[in-house]
Amino acid sequence: MNMIDYLKWRGDLSFDIDKFNYVDNLLCSYIAYTDLRSIVNFDNKPVTLKQAAEQFFLKHDEKQVRNNRSFISMSPLVLREMAQTKRFQDAKLSYYINDIDKQTTIQFSALRIDLTNNLSYISYCGTDDTLIGWKEDFQLSYKETNAQNKAVKFLQNVTPAFRRYYVGGHSKGGNLAIYAATNCNKATKKRIIQVFNNDGPGLSEELYDAEKFEEIKERIIRIVPQFSIFGQLFAQDCQQYIVKSAQNSIMQHDATSWQVLGNDFVYCDKLDDTSLQIKKGFDHFFQNVNFQQREIFTDELFKAFDDAGIKNVSDLYNEGLPALIKVVKEIAGINDQAREVLYDMIKILIDAYNAKIGKTGRETTQKLKGMLNDAYEEIDKMVEKTKNMHQKKEVRNK
């Protein structure tokens, strides 16, 4: 049972009968991924959630939506399911903004969802399928991003005094929610009930105001799947809940895979061991490089993706293992510490790809196993090659 099943089971209950819960939070954060341009505008009158869903599917074909293979592909379908329930159909959507600019590396989208006459959810969109958004995720490690600054202004501009607010997002949207709630003015901060970070990065410890964070800390809820990478980056000490997922490995980042029972999630006691290992690798890397090195690493990494012909995250899955091997070759020149972490990440992506299509026939599975072995061998060769290059360079410098 996932959040869509929850809608079918609990959707007939209003918020007066059954109060807002953690699953409602995930639904509100997830629909921010839906492209609502020309449907919900920043300056115009609010649109009911039911009207927004109807207008979206007048403009878009359901088959096209279902063919999208990204983490966020189901968001319009979730929006439509919500529109068919008494619980959400009359919720009002307003102040929608969608700002993407490759030149300034910004991907910012958000909206306000009025659940009742005095209760709203400020929903920040997470990373979309473009590498622009993912690059901005990495920029969180060395600077305050354009999206973070926009998130603060958005929160302060769309929150009138007579309402109380939940603030949240999935993936990078969770980071924006925490950043905005931490840095907004005191009047806005007082009206925030809770802040939800659904498997998104926290705040880099060198880049946030600890005193301001303490003012909101007790209201922050971090919800992550058992295999969590994004949700463990720069994770502050706050309430964390670990949920079960129907997916494997990195695909657990897909919010529609999170398991629900009744009006709550199905919880786990601890994170997956591999997830913890990757977290340690990233923690070690960020502790041992300065802001300038992080920036150089980020630029090099996304140049490598670009040179490998990877424009969108879904390209990694649509093009399969050959695309991943191209990336392996392109990142060979990145410094040792970063490369070690990235190779571990790519191995996870390879395993995730194999798991995704591993239910095919025996012959195809054997072929995939051969490609997997080739990919791992390619990684090992590139590691050895770059080690030798660095050793020769050190000898020359002496």
What's the pLDDT score for residue 128?
Answer: 67
| DSSP summary character for residue 129 | S
Q: Is the pLDDT of residue 92 over 60?
A: yes
What's the pLDDT score for residue 193?
Answer: 98
Whether the CB-CB separation of 42 and 135 falls below 8 Å is answered with: no
Neighbours of 359 (CB within 10 A): 8
Output 349 or 84, whichever has higher pLDDT: 84
What's the pLDDT score for residue 364?
Answer: 44
In which residue are the tokens 């995939």 written? 368
- Most confident of the following: 96-100, 191-195, 287-291, 375-379: 191-195
Share of the chain above pLDDT 70, in %: 75
Q: Is the pLDDT of residue 398 over 70?
A: no
- Which DSSP string corresponds to 74-101? THHHHHHHHHTSTTTTT-EEEEEEEEEE
Q: Is the pLDDT of residue 397 over 80?
A: no
Closest CA to 205 of 105, 270, 296, 291: 291
Burial profile 195-205: b = 16 or more Cβ within 10 angstroms, e = fewer = bbbbbbbbbbe
The per-residue pLDDT of the chain, averaged, comes to: 83
Output 258 or 62, whichever has higher pLDDT: 258
| DSSP summary character for residue 333 | G
Starting from the edge strand earliest in sequence, which strands make up the sheet with 220-225, in order?
47-48, 92-101, 106-114, 119-124, 164-170, 192-198, 220-225, 239-243
Q: Is the pLDDT of residue 168 over 90?
A: yes
What's the pLDDT score for residue 359?
Answer: 46
What's the pLDDT score for residue 62?
Answer: 84
Confidence label for 361 from pLDDT (cuts 50, 70 and 90): very low
What's the pLDDT score for residue 384?
Answer: 63
Could you give the angle at which helices 146-157 and 172-183 cross, rounded to 10 degrees? 60
Confidence label for 113 from pLDDT (cuts 50, 70 and 90): very high
Distances (CA, A) of 83 to 5, 12, 92, 254: 14, 11, 11, 21
Q: Is the pLDDT of residue 300 over 90?
A: no
**Rounded Cα distance, 350 and 319, in Å:** 12
Rounded to a whole number of angstroms, the distance between the first and last alpha carbons of the chain is: 62
Confidence label for 21 from pLDDT (cuts 50, 70 and 90): very high
Q: Is the pLDDT of residue 326 over 60?
A: yes
DSSP SS3 for 168: strand
Q: Is the pLDDT of residue 252 over 80?
A: yes
| pLDDT tens string 332-349 | 566 665 666 666 666 665
Q: Is the pLDDT of residue 295 over 90?
A: no
| pLDDT tens string 148-167 | 999 999 999 999 888 999 99
In which residue are the tokens 């571990």 written? 344
Mean pLDDT of 350-369: 51
Which phi and psi (to 5°) does residue 306 adopt?
A: -60, -45
| DSSP summary character for residue 392 | H
What's the pLDDT score for residue 360?
Answer: 44
Q: Is the pLDDT of residue 68 over 60?
A: yes
Half-sphere exposure of 378 (CA within 13 A, CB side): 22
| DSSP summary character for residue 312 | B
- Listed in sequence order, the DSSP H helices in 105-170 are 131-139, 146-157
What's the pLDDT score for residue 302?
Answer: 80
Q: 140-154, 156-170, 246-260, 362-376: which range is least confident on average?
A: 362-376
Output 62 or 220, whichever has higher pLDDT: 220
Torsion of CA 283, 287, 292, 295, to 10 degrees: 0
Q: Is the pLDDT of residue 362 over 70?
A: no
What's the pLDDT score for residue 284?
Answer: 77
**Rounded Cα distance, 30 and 334, in Å:** 34
Q: Is the pLDDT of residue 255 over 50?
A: yes
What's the pLDDT score for residue 279?
Answer: 81
Confidence label for 91 from pLDDT (cuts 50, 70 and 90): very high
